[in-house]
Amino acid sequence: MEELWRLSATELADLIRSKSVSAKEAAQAALARLEAVNPNINAVVDYKPDDVLSQAAAVDAAIARGDELGLLAGVPVTIKVGADQAGFATTDGMRLQHDHIAALDNPAVANLRKAGAILLGRTNCPAVSYRWFSSNLIHGATTNPREASLTPGGSSSGAGAAVAAGIGHIAHGSDIAGSIRYPAYACGVHGLRPSLGRVPHFNPSFGGRSIGGQIGAVSGPLARTINDLRIGLAAMSAPNAYDPWYAPVALNGPLRPKRVAMCLNPDGLNPVPDVIAAVADAGRRLQRAGWVVEEISDTPPMREPADLLTKLWLGDGYEAQLEMAEREGDPGALACLRGLRDKVHPFDLSAALARRDLLTREWFAFLEKYPVLLIPVSGELPFPDNLDLKDEASFERVWHAQLPQVAIPLMGLPALTVSTGLAGRIPVGVQFVAARFREDLCLAAGEAIEASARPLAMC
């Protein structure tokens, strides 16, 4: 039999359910893979082998009793260190939170546990999850397993690197400004940012969130196949009473025409030629798969939503965040906050939310006309690692390129990064956006691309 860590989550779950493979065997294979490759990439920064095997034993016992099994029974998954997982520190990449041990699971983590997933290990992120890069002072840096000179993405950097390297079959990530979509892009895997309210998202150990966190941050899956994203989403989106934004909406909505709006240059992004080529090629693949693809000259506004999202995320409580970053002393966190000071001041919450209301309505109307939007993930190929720390011009270059990621969360929309291959030795991909709670449309479009692409080998 093929090495178990190489299988998709879907394939492994089927084998475990049919008793062809035990959960213990799957867990042992996952631990062996982690221990073989993680020292070179530092994707997983905390794990307890005995606990992993104990979880697997519980799954095998449930199978022996004939219990009803969860969707991911016996499937090893990883959890981002920014999410509460009972018994582990929620460091969010900070020394200041070294001893911040969670007593309860984040609802998304609890849902994965209820689905029978084996929680394999905790994945790295930049300090305070501020960056599209991955160094911090507590866990160190994560290396992109496909090309060490490139960022592995951020902030769910360890999640993207782990999935690309075969450490776990699905990774939990979180996304407020691209933190699922960009690591997937940089590491050559797929990543889904769900709609606001689709997956319950909250860290009980930290209390209430700012309004930016409430309306912008979501949990979601990264994986090597589109169907694994689908089952990961199904598991993570189970009902949970701890998130007032949660909405019990069916995972599959009414049929819509297979119609895609393709925009190569949204709101003055001016992508590099390799990015334009990837999006155009994805459009041709969709056409061959029976989709109607209409190239449009522009989307509804992106730059204003990106600016408003940044204000709501970082401008609300800016001075307190800066003081925390100064105590932590992390160069990346400080560069982010200091570099964005002018973008988040003055902070006017009422005005920001009023503009969000109107912009969201404009986007909803657009996505009523076009069920799916195809755009770049970033204006550039994955950046050289730590480019944002080089100088002020490089910092601005990074933020400009990430416009398509930062804009979408303001409206609460779902978005999917699909890996489409390599530009030379550098991963490249595209982004799909759909109406709220229509992740199914993004996934259907992504599956059409995946079906015509040669998947990247695991690192």
Specify whether the CB–CB gap between 179 and 154 falls below 8 A.
Answer: yes
**Burial (0-12, 13-18, 19+ Cβ within 10 Å), 244:** exposed
**Burial (0-12, 13-18, 19+ Cβ within 10 Å), 282:** buried
Contacts of 408 by beta carbon, 8 Å cutoff, 6+ apart: 193, 305, 415, 433
For residue 256, which of 445, 384, 385 has the smallest C-alpha distance?
445
How many alpha carbons lie under 13 Å from residue 280 in its C-beta half-sphere? 9
> Angle at CA 6, nearest 5°, toward 420 and 448?
30
Give the active site residue among 134, 155, 219, 378. 155
Q: 155 catalytic, yes or no?
A: yes
Sequential DSSP letters for 405-453: HHHGGGGT--EEEEEEEEETTEEEEEEEEESTT-HHHHHHHHHHHHHTS
Residue 285 belongs to what H/E stretch?
A: helix 273-288
Neighbours of 276 (CB within 10 A): 16
Judging by DSSP bridges, how do beta strands 190-193 and 170-175 pair with one another? Answer: unpaired
Phi-psi region of 297 (alpha: psi -120 to 50; beta: other; left: phi over 0): alpha
Give the active site residue among 8, 22, 24, 80. 80
Specify whether the CB–CB gap between 359 and 301 falls below 8 A.
Answer: yes
Instruction: Tell me the C-alpha distance between 333 and 144, whole Å.
Output: 20
Q: 24 catalytic, yes or no?
A: no
For residue 444, which of 416, 419, 422 has the smallest C-alpha distance?
416
Task: Provide the CA 130 distance to its chain's centre, in angstroms.
Answer: 14
Task: Provide the CA 288 distance to its chain's centre, in angstroms.
Answer: 28
Amino acid at 401: A
Instruction: Tell me the C-alpha distance between 102 and 402, whole Å.
Output: 32
Q: 419 catalytic, yes or no?
A: no
Give the active site residue among 156, 179, 195, 210. 179
Q: Which residues are catalytic?
A: 80, 155, 179
